[in-house]
Amino acid sequence: MRVLLVEDEKKVASFIKKGLEEHGYAVDLASDGKTGLAMALDQIHDLLILDINLPEIDGLTVLSQIRGKKAVTPVLLLTVRATIEDKVIGLDTGADDYLSKPFSFEELLARVRALLRRHSESKSPVLSLADLSLDPASRQVFRGGNRIELTSKEFAILEYFLRNVGRVLTRSMIINHAWDYDYEAETNVVDVYIAYLRKKIDAPYHPKLLHTIRGTGYVMREE
């Protein structure tokens, strides 16, 4: 899961980024509204955490521009202003939830999880191929009736493959999806994770679902 955080207060930003990264999320940071808007329009993020008071362009304007472009990325607004009117304006503009500063990390994490769960439920209930299935809502993976434990990176990569069955995914596409911008693109890290994933979801089973496309990347399909 890749999160875009738009927050100009350095302390708050690093508190959120560090905490989410410890929980397995990839987090990109923008420290003003203009940069945040440009990054959000790439639509590669699964969730946007958006401060309202921002330099360059304020958070509500960023939000209305994103929604104007029909982006459906769930948005959690952060603010110190917490009057009922502000909340209503934020929700009317297209925010999915609202969090008033100061907040505890646990509360933020709970909101983030709830938003991602709601969003993935609406996107797709359960993803599957042959006897492999992945439930984005409960974050469970099964193959041949066996529950498979995956790390959060492995889960993110598998979900990406299952949303793109039959499509060849290059190493850099996988990096862009599962790691953040700051990650120094060592593309062989993808091979390492694919090897982990294969060991868990493919090696003990038939048919094999995750295939190497020489010189290009990988594809998930039933041959």
The contact set with Ca ion (CB under 5 A) reads: 8, 51, 53
SS3 146: strand
CB of 98 to Ca ion, least distance (A): 15
**Of residues 51 and 154, the one with the C-beta less far from Ca ion:** 51
**Of residues 50 and 157, the one with the C-beta less far from Ca ion:** 50
CB nearest Ca ion: which residue? 53
**Of residues 39 and 174, the one with the C-beta less far from Ca ion:** 39
The secondary element (H helix, E strand) that includes residue 4 is strand 2-6
Distance separating alpha carbons of residues 165 and 59, to the nearest angstrom: 36
Bridge-partner residues for 78, per DSSP? Answer: 51, 99
**Of residues 46 and 51, the one with the C-beta less far from Ca ion:** 51
The secondary element (H helix, E strand) that includes residue 132 is strand 132-135
**Of residues 32 and 97, the one with the C-beta less far from Ca ion:** 32
Amino acid residing at 146 = N
Most distant CA pair in the chain: distance in Å?
Answer: 57
Q: Which residues contact 211 (CB under 8 A, 6 or more apart)?
A: 218, 219, 220, 221, 223
Report residue 78 CA to chain centroid gap: 18
CB of 79 to Ca ion, least distance (A): 8
CB of 111 to Ca ion, least distance (A): 18
CB of 54 to Ca ion, least distance (A): 6
The secondary element (H helix, E strand) that includes residue 131 is none
Residue with tokens 């990839």: 26
CB of 23 to Ca ion, least distance (A): 23
**Of residues 8 and 135, the one with the C-beta less far from Ca ion:** 8
CB of 53 to Ca ion, least distance (A): 4
Distance separating alpha carbons of residues 177 and 40, to the nearest angstrom: 14
